[in-house]
Amino acid sequence: MGGTPPTSPWAMTEPEHLSRAPIVEAALGITVILPSTVDQEKLASFQERLGGRYPTKEVRMMWTGQVEMRPDSPQITTTSGGPTGYIFRSADATQAVQALKQGFSFSRFKPYQDWDTFSREARDLWSRYATLTKPEKVTRIGLRYINRIELPLPFNDFKEYLLTIPEIAPGLPQGLSGFFFRVVIPIDKAEAFATITETIVEGEVPKGVVPVILDIDVFRTGTFPIIAEKLWPAFDRLRELKNDLFFKTLTDKAKDLFK
């Protein structure tokens, strides 16, 4: 895989059952190298393989830009890009699948059901995408879970609920009205990396709570099987890792909010 994580101890904990899990989006992604013959028209035909389950189609665009500055000459800006595939959405807008030149992704939005249901749908859709596009390689796999955690006021310290949180230097005012916090953690035992992002939701929010987004993205890079039966055990392990990170980030007081 790309980059070797440093050695560090990592012991998995047994996940707890939360009857009201705070998941607002779960996403599974697979990055691929496709044959050059796969074009926008072929990706559009993916919808025909979905049996009417995803009737809404949107073009996915990707643009890159470059700014060049030279002494005594005008600034030069160049852009490149264009359509890179499609997003197909279910009629009730609770699910979306992307068929892209760079890869495949499946998202389930609130209400999230359970891993078995989510995984089964993603696996079926991936098999249909792979049959259509015939990837040459799978180079990255990932799971991302975005949680919205509404912390009830009043409380004195975010650490009453969250064990991974930004630190303010002693001597400075300790109150926080907003923050954006992101760490990338190498986990050698799982041959994976995890990105944990936390932020306070801004704008209109319910009274009496502080809404925090806890975004956990676990991924591996390398070369992976294309066939779903051989690829999916790796996703099962990523899911275990994601669960472990989630529960180790919350205090018991936070977990009680969702039981």
DSSP secondary structure string for all residues of 224-257: E-SSHHHHHHHHHHHHHHHHHHHHHHB-HHHHGG
Q: What is the dihedral of CA 64, 81, 193, 214, to 10 degrees?
A: 80
The identity of residue 186, as a single letter, is P
Residue 71 belongs to a domain: no
Structure tokens belonging to residue 213: 């987004």
Residue 197 has pLDDT above 80, yes or no: yes
- State mean pLDDT over 236-246: 96
pLDDT digits (tens, 9 = 90+) for 9-51: 456 666 677 889 999 999 999 999 999 999 999 999 999 999 9
Distances in Å between the alpha carbon of 75 and those of 6, 45, 104? 43, 41, 37
Supply the range of the domain harboring residue 250: 23-61+80-258
Look at the block and give the residue holding tokens 């760079």.
102
**What confidence score (pLDDT) does residue 7 get?**
41
Question: Which residue type sits at 151?
Answer: L
Residue 124: inside a domain, yes or no? yes
pLDDT digits 0-9 by tens, 134-146: 999 999 999 999 9
CA angle 183, 108, 229 (to 5 degrees): 90
> Is pLDDT at 61 greater than 70 in this prediction?
yes
Domain assignment of residue 5, yes or no: no
Check pLDDT > 80 for residue 176: no
Assigned domain for 241 exists: yes
Residue 170 domain-assigned (yes or no):
yes
Q: Is 233 exposed, middle or buried (0-12, 13-18, 19+ CB in 10 A)?
A: exposed
Tokens of 73: 């000459």
Q: How would you class 247 by CB atoms within 10 Å of its CB: exposed for 0-12, middle for 13-18, buried for 19 or more? A: middle
Total domain count, the chain: 1
Task: Quote the pLDDT of residue 77.
Answer: 59
Backbone φ and ψ for 231, nearest 5 degrees, come out as -80, -35
Using a pLDDT cut of 90, give the percent of the chain over it.
Answer: 72
Beta bridge partners of 83: 61
Segment 178-195, tens digit of pLDDT: 889 999 999 998 999 999
Pairing of strands 76-89, 192-200: unpaired
The pLDDT value given to residue 152? 94
Q: Does a structural domain hold residue 236?
A: yes
Q: Which helix (H) or strand (E) holds 10?
A: none
- Rounded to two decimals, the pTM is 0.87
Query: Residue 156: which residues within 8 A CB-CB, separation 6 or more?
Result: none
Q: What is the mean pLDDT of residues 121-125?
A: 98
